[in-house]
Amino acid sequence: MSWRDQLQRASFRGTPFHTRVDGVEIGRRQVVHEYPLRDTPYIEDMGRKLRRFTIEAYVIGPKYMAARDKLMAAIEQTGPGALVHPYFGQMRASVTACRLKQSSREGGMARFSITFVESGENKFPDTKPDTPAIVDEKADLCAGVFEEDFAAVFSIEGMPEFILGEANALVQGALDAVAAISDAVPTIPSEITGFVADIEKLGADLTYLIYQPAILANRVRSLIGRVLSVADGPANALSMLRALFGHGDDVRAVSVTTPSRRQQAANQAAIINLVQRPALVEAARVASQISYESRGQAIAIRDEIADGIDLHLDAAGDAAYSAMQAVRIALVKDIAVRAADLSRILSYTPKTTEPALVIAHRLYQDATRESDIVARNRIRHPGFVTGGQTLEVLTTDGLTLRSTGRAGGGLANA
């Protein structure tokens, strides 16, 4: 595999950017002790220096301003985030300095000079572990396992011609499925163009990659791993990945009556797993980056992905079982920690027709919550909320909804 094949798409907090130049400061922390009447100093090694990455990044295109604003928001967000460095891969990093440049001469482009420093774990007691980072870590460990599993099972060496034809058709079908997942959700134009081009190139390379299963598996899995950088936000990325959860379930099973048919069936299962398993693992990674509106929404997504992983565990080998189970456990813990602070959805039914402003004041003692009630329930006219119509409203552990007055209604768990 050439160095170009090993480059990764650069992004920060899931927000992609382009880069041509980068630098990194490395070394050791040394304290020099010089003593009287001693010519040679003593050098005390205090450990490795923090790595400081300087990246010259840019976003470009007709709608570059939207990409610029998204990257600015990621840079200005508090705390460390997930940095995907094109040469060093994924790491936790914080932004210590950033300078934005734009000019009319370079219309359609914004340049960022960003300084990142690696961010380690807090060695002091912390009431909230960084559960999204743990999901990231466990998901990364699956990559090599999936590729090794595929290479160990998939083979067309010494097989009849129809085995080769069937394998080619299945892989091409998988590529078509990956290409199709971006059709129904918003994507980042500058990223989707390269994504589709890479899918087409992989299809053109199948004539020789079909004989190199390890490289083929790496290329397919890497495409699925790029969904987060292609989609316009984690929620859209989850929608794209969800379309791959059941890929191949409708393929007709092979009757294993001969050694050739047994290998055909093994190849079929390997190709289907090469799509479904990375899609589920990437979905777990994406789920750890979604900002959920309610506890119920977070739990529903957790259960969907965890149940999908469960379906693969029984048939997985030891390494794949351990890797996917670790992702599942990390996902469940992540949702448990983050959902604890989320709102719960309750049902509220006003007895009479009245303004949303009045309902917000009655329930929350806060009229500014009107906009949430209107948006959540798609109310056409905020001044006239129909009496007797059940509404969805949010509450948290620290907020007690009130229902008082003659125009009030009943509250119930949704």
Encode pLDDT of 52-61 as tens digits: 999 999 999 8
pLDDT at 226: 92
Q: With beta carbons less than 8 A apart as the criterion, state whether 268 and 251 touch.
A: yes
Q: Which domains does the chain have, with CATH numbers?
A: 3-118 (2.40.30.200), 131-339 (no CATH), 344-413 (no CATH)
Which of 31-35, 44-48, 201-205, 359-363 is the most confident on average? 201-205
Using alpha carbons, select from 337, 348, 328, 259 the residue that is nearest to residue 298.
337
User: Angle at Cα 308 formed by Cα 11 and Cα 236, nearest 5°?
Assistant: 35
For residues 59 and 77, give the distance between their C-alpha atoms in angstroms, rounded to a whole number. Answer: 19
Is 260's pLDDT higher than 70?
A: yes
Rounded to whole angstroms, the Cα distance separating 414 from 1 reads: 53
* Residue 276, CA distances (Å) to 161, 163, 309, 372 in order: 27, 22, 9, 36
Q: Is the pTM of the predicted complex or chain greater than 0.75?
A: no
Name residues whose C-beta falls within 8 Å of residue 285's C-beta, 6 or more positions apart in sequence: 135, 136, 139, 228
pLDDT for 199? 92
- With a CB cutoff of 8 Å and minimum separation 6, the contacts of 59 are 17, 18, 67, 68, 71, 109, 110, 112, 190
Q: Per-residue pLDDT averaged across 164-176, rounded?
A: 93
Helix (H) or strand (E) holding 382: none
Q: What is the dihedral of CA 165, 167, 168, 172, to 10 degrees?
A: 140
Tens of pLDDT along 116-157?
998 876 555 555 678 999 999 999 999 899 999 999 999 998
pLDDT at 87 over 80: yes
- Tell me the CA distances in angstroms from 53 to 56, 153, 214, one per residue in order: 10, 40, 32
pLDDT at 326: 94
Query: What amino acid occupies position 114?
Result: I
Q: Which amino acid is it at 275?
A: V
From 80, 52, 71, 96, select the one nearest 11 (Cα to Cα).
71
| Residue 405 confidence class, pLDDT cut points 50, 70, 90 | very low
Q: Could you tell me where the DSSP H helices lie in 288-390? A: 295-313, 318-339, 356-364, 370-376
- Say how far apart CA 213 and CA 215 lie, in whole Å: 6
DSSP letter assigned to residue 253: P
- With bands split at pLDDT 50, 70 and 90, how would you rate the model's confidence at 400? very low
Q: Would you say 51 and 119 are in contact if contact means Cβ atoms under 8 Å apart? A: no
pLDDT at 414: 47
Q: Nearest to residue 286, comparing CAs of 265, 273, 301, 271? A: 301
Q: Alpha carbon 271 to chain centroid distance?
A: 22
* Res 221 pLDDT > 70: yes
pLDDT at 277 exceeding the cut of 90: yes
Tokens of 76: 């200005």
Measured distance CA(89)–CA(52) in Å, rounded:
14
Higher pLDDT, 82 or 399: 82
What are the pLDDT digits (tens) for 352-384?
Answer: 888 888 888 877 777 777 887 888 788 888 888
pLDDT at 396 over 60: no
Closest-CA residue to 144 (of 301, 277, 265): 277
